[in-house]
Structure 1
Amino acid sequence: MEVQEAIKQRRVVRKFRPDPIPDDALYKIINSARWAPSPFNTQPWEFIIIRNQETLKKLGDAAPTAQYLVEAPLAIAVVILPINAKYPFHQEVGEPKHAGAMAVQNIMLTAWELGIGTGWATIDADKVKKILHIPIEFDVLTVIPIGYSLDRPPERMEEDRLPVDDLISFEEFNGLSEGRIIEY
């Protein structure tokens, strides 16, 4: 699968089959995450693989808008490590989290390439830290439910996306987005 094809075809999966994810597929998925860019190649992430159904249930309770987390055969918690930065500005502007988000994108695209679905669970980070025994100085970016889709997600249509010309300006902000409030 070509990268552009994976980007355009990937969907959030919310209904999973109970089939286990093979370890070789899981390692391929995590391997792609470690290649995400990060400031000064710090690789400020750790990935916790969760297969225990009781733990997944607790994590589902910590993700009020992502109850489908409980349905997945496994999940990956993306933990962001604290950085004792030579350039503290990187920490201040959230560079470690940005790098983690790029690792998540790699996870999702690689899983999709392998025929495996994923989702993004918006979580209560403090609750997730308690459930997974993560020290307070670490951050939890998300918990990604992973599994084979129970049904085929709907096709994404070109008209579902804003036109490129509505998203770009050159050299300075030109007000294209003024008044556009994101609602969901």
Structure 2
Amino acid sequence: MEATEAIEKWRSIRKYKTEPVPDGALRKTLDAGRKAPSWENVQPWHFIAVDDEGLKQKLVKLSRGQKFIASAPVVIAVCGDVGAWDKPRNREALLKATAEVVDNLLLKDPVFCVAEHGPSIILARTMEQLGIAYGFMCVEAVNHGLGCCIVGAFGNEMTGSLRQLYDEVRADLALPERVYLLALLTIGIPDEQPPARPRKNFDSVVSKNKYGNPL
């Protein structure tokens, strides 16, 4: 399947068949996330494939009762590593540039160096990069005949809610101190064919040279 076709077929799927996700398809979906581009190649992510029923039930509670999460054969816990932006680790990712450029520009200029900003900007940049990765995973999942749904409404660092339960889930996932659970991706064989949801027309979201100028 071509990427364009997979994008055209995209639907958020919340009903899944009980049969397991083929291991090969799951691995290729996760690998698509691994191969996604990221700012200065920091790759601030870690993906955990969850099929433990008890843990999935906790994720339902953490998401204020979104029961379809537990019905998915696999839930990918999309985790962001905010420590990836620390200067020593960022420097390691940038070593293809000359040391002088890295040390004097890329690690000091706030335009390039996310670590020059506060925790809220670092968290936002991390979330931005994760969005690219799970977007890649969604397209690859469709390519293998799978359905998925992105879940962002649950207790975590972004929402600041359900802290006690979130800490329990973090412990269950064995997340390091600066690795946060920032999104969920339910995945399975679709058991529904929902209609396409409306999208804005092309000319309303695309311009040339300046806002509102038709392409």
- What residue is the counterpart of 1:84 in the other structure? 86
Instruction: Letter of the 2:18 partner, please give it.
Output: P
Which secondary structure state, in structure 2, belongs to the residue aligned with residue 119 of structure 1? strand
- What residue is the counterpart of 1:47 in the other structure? 47
CA 1:15–1:30 in structure 2 vs 1: closer, same or farther (change >3 Å)? same
Q: 1:172 offset after TM fit, Å?
A: 4.1
Q: Which runs of 5+ in 2 are unaligned?
A: 88-106, 108-112, 157-162
Q: Which 4+ residue blocks in structure 1 deviate beyond 6 angstroms?
A: none
CA contact (8 A) 1:120 1:143 kept: yes
Distance 2:26 2:207 in 1: 39
- What residue is the counterpart of 1:161 in the other structure? 199
Distance 2:143 2:67 in 1: 25
Which secondary structure state, in structure 2, belongs to the residue aligned with residue 77 of structure 1? strand
Q: Which runs of 5+ in 1 are unaligned?
A: 175-184
User: Which entry has the higher C-alpha Rg, 1 or 2?
Assistant: 2
Q: 1:168 offset after TM fit, Å?
A: 2.8
TM-score (norm 1): 0.83
Q: Percent identity?
A: 27
- What residue is the counterpart of 2:95 in the other structure? none
- What residue is the counterpart of 1:61 in the other structure? 61
CA contact (8 A) 1:47 1:78 kept: yes
Distance 2:31 2:207 in 1: 35
User: Are 1:106 and 2:144 an aligned pair?
Assistant: no
RMSD, aligned α-carbons: 2.3
User: Are 1:142 and 2:183 an aligned pair?
Assistant: yes
Distance 2:59 2:132 in 1: 22
Distance 2:64 2:207 in 1: 37
In proportion to residue count, which structure has more helix? Answer: 2
